[in-house]
Amino acid sequence: MPDTKSGRERKGRNKRRQLESRLNERELEAADEPPEPTLDAEDSEYLPEPDELDEWLDTE
């Protein structure tokens, strides 16, 4: 079967429709709220522990 302009256009529309439906499905599956940030060891290494806080504040 020969390649026709209308066939290429129809194929392009089908691909676009398929992509849009996939994106819509992913959007519906995604969580409504972003996940809560967690306190990782890397984040807390620069924060003093509550009992060490006095040492940090007594540097005056």
* Residue range(s) defining the domain that contains residue 22: 1-31
Pair 55, 48: CB distance under 8 Å? yes
For residue 50 the two structure tokens come to 């509550």
Comparison of pLDDT for 40 and 52, the residue scoring more = 52
- pLDDT tens across 2-12, in order? 778 888 888 88
Is there a contact between 19 and 11 (Cβ–Cβ < 8 Å)? no
Q: Please report the pLDDT score of residue 48 as a whole number.
A: 65
The pLDDT, as a whole number, for residue 37 is 73
Residue 17 included in any domain? yes
In a domain, 6, yes or no: yes
Number of domains in the chain: 1
Q: Cα separation of 46 and 27, whole Å?
A: 37
Q: Please check whether residue 54 lies inside any domain of the structure.
A: no
DSSP string, the chain: ----HHHHHHHHHHHHHHHHHHHHHHHHHS-SSPPPP---HHHHTTSPPGGGHHHHHTT-
Q: What digits encode the pLDDT tens for the residues 14-49?
A: 999 999 999 999 888 876 777 777 766 555 566 667
Q: What pTM value is reported for the model?
A: 0.43
Residue 43 lies in a domain: no
